[in-house]
Structure 1
């Protein structure tokens, strides 16, 4: 029987020195806490011991707020939640928690790599099912190769979100042409477009598509190579992130090169 280790103890000790994994299976060198999940709150968030735990490395369709017209649910959000619930329920709700460099995210939720008893990474399963997109949230970058690879397989097989994209391109989700977007198309998605210009100021690097401005803030420069970013000019790229409206235009802020396909080694 697995030894139960408290989440509090793991948070105190930290796991900052662990080796990064390229597989979706649990690295035997990882320290893991086995516990019981309660339910999936969305396609990328679990309730565990009455605390929300965000699955590191994926972005599932946002549940939104059905009663708020400015925050509608994204397509397949309920299906993604049901899919995550299905996988934890099929393993008697037992999950293993592995923390990365940073155990808490900006909204106060815990964030972790969550495994099933068979050693499979839940985030990898969700990406493989086409129920979530891979993301690169520094400094929590373990399992990047696994997650982007699983997403690519789902995309090639047109599963989940990718079947939706094929059958309902008018939804502009999860992928949209930059030229087809308006200032109403905020929220997380992948945007494809030709890079019209690349420039930099003392505060940010600017990658401008035809209708979308991608911004790399100064705090994230250490993750990027300026020459590689500048070389994107004139090329068609796919960038993924949260779109937001500023002064009537659509913008996206990126903190890691893996969020741009031509800079992503996976």
Structure 2
């Protein structure tokens, strides 16, 4: 049913790889902003390789646009803050654990919030600016702290996970690099050995980082992991094969009633960089 794959996967360790095209596509705006057009192809390939843990750049690209100085009222959690004018900011490019979680997830939700409180000053800057909003009316963007982003700190210390939600995904390449280094060094949550969790054991919705084998391919954009998690891709991908092992991350919800008996949970991927092949 599917043509032979022409997808090039870059092996990022003995166990993981990520398709070249996925990271290039998701970071094209970032790459274009940093390199002259005649170097774009080479720069994009370098960007695709950052997940190997080889340090291509020491830090994420500086902001292109910044808000005026804004007053921070409080840190709600590792990825959400409230401003003095009453508005909330949902930080993009990464996700921290929820304070309502239990066990080790709650522990690391508290660690992320505490670290954010430590490093953020009373005056903060949002990028990009003007900021877009989500369906809850929250501003979307990153917090710039003069020399780095809050997301850099939390991801590098293993207190948050990278996740790409276009179009606010300019920092994905560098955050993936930082995450891989934290994972390799077993910093923060990576020291526990709990992530990724098994797709077979999935029994709740919300943000998930899961791993499983492809047990069904429903069509060019839909596959099933471990006969339990239906994964809907943002575009067709003929490289997927039965038995291939994948890590996926994003927000999981209950499947529609019509298919819930076959696979109870569904993850709609917003970007293919939220999927990694495991060898």
Mark yes or no: TM-score above 0.5.
yes
Residue 42 (1) aligns with residue 77 (2): yes
CA RMSD of aligned residues (A): 2.9
Secondary structure of 1:41's counterpart equals strand
- 2:62 & 2:189 partners in 1: Cα distance? 29
1:102–1:28 distance in 2 versus 1, CA, 3 Å: closer
- 2:189 & 2:105 partners in 1: Cα distance? 14
Structure 1 residue 108, shift from structure 2 partner: 1.6
Report the counterpart of residue 182 of structure 2 in structure 1: 154
What CA deviation, in whole Å up to 9, does each residue of 1:183-206 have, x standing for no partner?
A: 3x33212111111222328xxx21
Length, aligned pairs only: 219
The answer to whether the 8 Å contact 2:202/2:228 transfers is no
Report the counterpart of residue 3 of structure 1 in structure 2: none
- Greater relative CO (CA pairs within 8 A, separation 6+): 2
The answer to whether the 8 Å contact 1:101/1:139 transfers is no
Secondary structure of 2:158's counterpart equals coil
| Structure 1 length-normalised TM | 0.72
Report the counterpart of residue 199 of structure 1 in structure 2: 218
- 1:62 & 1:262 partners in 2: Cα distance? 26
- 1:227 & 1:103 partners in 2: Cα distance? 34
Gap regions ≥5 residues in structure 2: 1-28, 35-46, 48-56
| Structure 2 length-normalised TM | 0.69
What CA deviation, in whole Å up to 9, does each residue of 1:130-158 have, x standing for no partner?
A: 11100010111201111111111111111
Structure 1 residue 226, shift from structure 2 partner: 2.3
Structure 1 residue 51, shift from structure 2 partner: 1.4
The answer to whether the 8 Å contact 1:127/1:154 transfers is yes
Q: 1:239 aligns with which of 248, 257, 260?
A: 248
Gap regions ≥5 residues in structure 1: 1-16, 67-71
- 1:234 & 1:101 partners in 2: Cα distance? 45
What CA deviation, in whole Å up to 9, does each residue of 1:92-130 have, x standing for no partner?
A: 32322112796111222111111102x201111110111
